[in-house]
Each structure stands twice: as C-alpha cells, then as structure tokens.
Chain A
Amino acid sequence: MTFLEKLDRLDRRIIFLIIGIAVFVPLLFRVPIKVVQSPIVQDIYEGIQALPEGSTIMLSFDYDPSTLAELQPMAEAVVKHCIQKKHRMVFMGLWPQGPKLAQGIMDEMAPRYNLQYGVDYVNLGYKTGGIVVISSLGSSIADPFPTDMNGTPLRELPIFDNVKTLRDFAYVVSLSAGDPGIKHWVMIAKDRFKVPVGGGVTAVSAPAFYAYYNSGQLEGLMGGLRGAAEYETLIDTPGTASYGMNAQNWAHLMIILFIIIGNTTMLVLKRRKEKSRVR
C-alpha cells in the first residue's frame, strides 16, 4: 500500500485526535480575539443600544445545555449589554431547561452589578405550548405566567408595574436552538404585536434565518460562537466567545486541510487508476 492509499484510508481516530488537539490547546492559552463585525450582528446591538435607558426587554432562553457552548456566550453578552444600558430584563424559556440557564447567568451577574430581583430583572420560568405561550403573552403576561419561577405572583414584582402584555416590551431577544424558538417569536411578537425581535441561533441553523432578517422581521441575528464573539467585541467586554474563537480558528483550519488532503488523494489515485487501465 502506497503512502497516498494509506492517507486515503486514514484511521478516523487520528482525525479525532488532531481535532481534539486543535480545539484543546488554543483554549489553554486564553487569548481573546477581536472579530470583524457583520451588519446582521451590528443591527441587534444597535437596536438594544438605541432603546431609552430603563427599557424592559424580554429574554427568552429557548435552548438546552447541548447548545450551551454557542448560545450561552451570546446570552451573557446581551445581558451585559442590557446591564450597561440599565435596561430591565424579563427572562423566560420555551424550553424546560432555558430558565435554569438564565438563572445561572444572573446568579453570577446580579451580585456583581448590584441588581435587585423583581426590580431590575425577573425569571418567569418555563411554560409548555411554544407559539401559543407567545400568543398568550400578547393578551396578558399573567395568563401563561401567573407567578415567576419562584412562585411569587407577578403583581408583587415592581418590574411588572407598567408591563402587562407582550406589547409593553421594548425588545425581545430569543436565543434559540430549534423549535419552539426565534421563528415563533418573529411570527407572533414581531408580525402580530409589532415588538422588535432579535436573537441568536447555532451556527448550523443561522443560514435559515437570513430571509427573516432581510425582510425586516428580524432586527438582527447572532450565528454561533462567531456571532457571540462579534457581540462581545461590540460591547467591548471579551468573554467566552472571544476566547473560543481561537479554538474555532484552528478547528476550521484543520477541517479545511482535511478536505484538501482528502480531495488531493482522491484525484491522484483516480488518475493513477486511469493510467494503469490505459496501459
């Protein structure tokens, strides 16, 4: 067996090992990387930036820990931006695990920035029903969520003094890993109740949402770790995504090299086969 034939049948464990090293080693050296901003991410940043100080923003955590690596840095970046602008935040989830992930962020941020629960932020928790929950919020927030995540009635939480329905939110941010998610927020919150909707999705699903962005139904979108890194650069607070971009850089480079090697060996071996057939 020639070298090229061996390369063509490369054991996939070697590929796994190379990718593992390419991801792991750059993560050891925590070097934040500033990335070039794309208009689609800049638009969501500017949308939140342009709101008057103290606006109330809905943050829907529509994902579970499987997509944590991509979506949690986005959530952290948006929350930091809201804190910088002194916006009030209402968290909820269309996925059962979402509110707990939001709570994880706020457990860290609230003491650091001296935020008061019920005044500066609140966590409504999870409710089944997907798109119907969003639609119910349009009638009254208390319909699907009579209490917050801890069982406190909404009337006892000052943040809801002037916020009664979905229309009273200045902006909706949905961090979404699938169904139900950002598409449903666009369909109900934006299209029916005219509330601006932006958000973030995994890199693999981002291409599907460009049509909504172009039509103006989606204010802006963060796609994958890159989207989160762009947002971190915009708020000038490097976080997990900016550090992770180094690893993604190397992983992409390795995958490109694998594709080049795979195609080169295929072409050379194919040509050799054709030559031997002619002889």
Chain B
Amino acid sequence: MFWKRQFPILITAFVAVVMIAAYFIPKPGIADTRDNLQVWFQIVVMFTMILGLLNLLFVSWHKARKGRKEDRFYNWVTIFSLLGTIVAGFFGINSPAFDFIFNNIYTPLSATIFSLLAFYVASASFRAFRAKSIMATILLITAFIVMLGRVPLGDWISGWAQGTSLGFLYLPNITNWIMEVMNMAGQRAVLMGAALGLIATGIKIILGIERSYLGGE
C-alpha cells in the first residue's frame, strides 16, 4: 500500500515544493535540483509518447482484426500510416520520404479537416444563432459588429465616420472597444477564477487530499 499510495504522494509533494521554492528562491542549490527535475520530466514525457504510440498500435491492431467489419479498413490505414511515418523518420527528418509524407499527405489532410469548420460554422449560424431572448439578442448584435469590424467590409461601411465627431460609429473602433474592454473584463474574470481553482487543486495534490491522479480506488 505504501508504494502504491503514500510513496507517489511523497514524490509529488517533494517535486511540487522544490519547483515552487525554486521560483521564489533563485539560489544555485535549489535551482540545480529544479533543473534536474525538469530534465527528468522531459524524459518521463518522452516515455509517455512511446506509451501512447504503442497503445495506438495495439488498439488499432486489435480493431483491425476483431473490430466491426466496416471499420477494419480504417484501422489498417492507421497502422500503415503510423509505421510508414516511423520508417520514413528513421531516414532523417529531412529525408525525401519524410518530406513527402509531411508536405503532401499530412499537411493538406490536416488543413482540410480544420477548414471544414467554416462550413459548419456557417450552417450553425443559420440554424442556431437566433434572437430568442434578450441575452441572445445582445450576443447576436455583438457578434454582428465584431464580424463586420474584423473584415475590410466594416471599414468600407463605416469609413465615413472616421475622423469626424461620429468616430465612435466607426466599426473597427467599436470592435476594438468590445475586444479590449467588454471581452477582456470577462476573460480576466474567467482567468482569475481558473487560476484560483488551480492553486486550490495544487495545494490539495501537494497535501495528498486530491488523489484521483493516482488512479485506482
């Protein structure tokens, strides 16, 4: 039980206290310990990547042989892509094979999938972006202004107001104001709330109160 529960908690508490202390006490002794821990962290993270890779390989292998018939093909694609990229990588990150995979397969596929978002946003804007309440209407009007203010169209529509006493009607100015005042106030509140939550969780982990990261019961 000690090795499974208390020992990992002691390691966690030790590492956390050293890292916090090193931030506030920049002295050689503690800084060296921090540097060593940072190197260890990078080594551990590297092994988690290998673990993830093996996990993907085994799960795909299992599904390719015993999974749903219609999905088996995609699992073989995953396995061959994974192994193909690894083999190409062994010839060097600048090898023609790796360059070909990265520039002609991975990059266009990745960019294409993300680009599909624009189509879904447009469809969702038509179906879901409705002024059903006062709050939704305020959100709608704000989105309107920001969307117009972020493209040259906003400048063309309201350009007449720039430099006049009605300059506050110039859409890029309104957009900047919304982003730098209204948005920022909200974001700051979210950030501070999250930071306080993070500190509380950190203290709970250091003291061994929060143990869910250890898994098990």
CB distance A256 to B129 under 8 Å?
no
Contacts A65-B110, A266-B130; is A207 near B140 (CB within 8 Å)? no
Q: Is A192 an interface residue (CB 8 A)?
A: yes
Cα(A161)–Cα(B23), bound, Å:
28
**Residues in A whose Cβ lies below 8 Å from that of B23:** 192
With both beta carbons as reference points, the residue of chain B lying nearest to A103 in the complex is identified as: B94
Q: Is A136 an interface residue (CB 8 A)?
A: yes
Cα(A100)–Cα(B35), bound, Å:
28
Q: Which residues from 78 to 130 on chain B have a C-beta closer than 8 Å to any C-beta of chain A?
A: 93-94, 102-103, 106-108, 110-111, 113-115, 118-119, 121-123, 125-127, 129-130
Q: Is B41 an interface residue (CB 8 A)?
A: yes
CB distance A261 to B126 under 8 Å?
yes
Interface of A is mostly: helix
**Residues in A whose Cβ lies below 8 Å from that of B144:** 256, 259
CB distance A207 to B119 under 8 Å?
no
Q: Is A38 an interface residue (CB 8 A)?
A: yes
Cα(A267)–Cα(B129), bound, Å:
13
Q: Is A262 an interface residue (CB 8 A)?
A: yes
CB distance B42 to A262 under 8 Å?
no
Q: Is A139 an interface residue (CB 8 A)?
A: yes
Residue from A15, A39, A128 within 8 A of B126 (CB atoms)? A15
Residue from A67, A100, A254, A256 within 8 A of B93 (CB atoms)? A100
Cα(A12)–Cα(B118), bound, Å:
13
Q: Which residues from 200 to 259 on chain A have a C-beta closer than 8 Å to any C-beta of chain B?
A: 203, 206-208, 210-211, 214, 224, 226, 245, 248-249, 251-256, 258-259
Query: Residues 12-45 of chain A: 1 if any B CB is under 8 Å from the residue's CB, otherwise 0?
Result: 1001101110010000000001011011100000
Q: Which residues from 110 to 168 on chain B have a C-beta closer than 8 Å to any C-beta of chain A?
A: 110-111, 113-115, 118-119, 121-123, 125-127, 129-131, 140, 143-144, 147-148, 150-153, 155
Interface residue range, chain A: 35 or more
Contacts A211-B188, A262-B125; is A66 near B152 (CB within 8 Å)? no
Interface residue range, chain B: 35 or more
Contacts A210-B179, A214-B180; is A249 near B42 (CB within 8 Å)? no
Query: Residues 52-64 of chain A: 1 if any B CB is under 8 Å from the residue's CB, otherwise 0?
Result: 0000000000001
Q: Which 9 A-B pairs have the closest CB atoms?
A: A66-B114, A65-B107, A258-B126, A65-B110, A210-B184, A129-B42, A211-B188, A128-B45, A12-B123
Q: List 6 A-B contacts (CB under 8 A).
A: A103-B94, A104-B103, A208-B187, A251-B122, A255-B147, A259-B126
A interface vs B, CB < 8 Å? 10, 12, 15-16, 18-20, 23, 33, 35-36, 38-40, 64-69, 97, 100, 103-104, 125, 127-129, 132-133, 135-136, 139, 143-144, 149-150, 192, 203, 206-208, 210-211, 214, 224, 226, 245, 248-249, 251-256, 258-259, 261-263, 266-267
B interface vs A, CB < 8 Å? 23, 31, 34-35, 38-39, 41-42, 45-46, 49, 93-94, 102-103, 106-108, 110-111, 113-115, 118-119, 121-123, 125-127, 129-131, 140, 143-144, 147-148, 150-153, 155, 172, 176, 179-180, 183-184, 187-188, 191
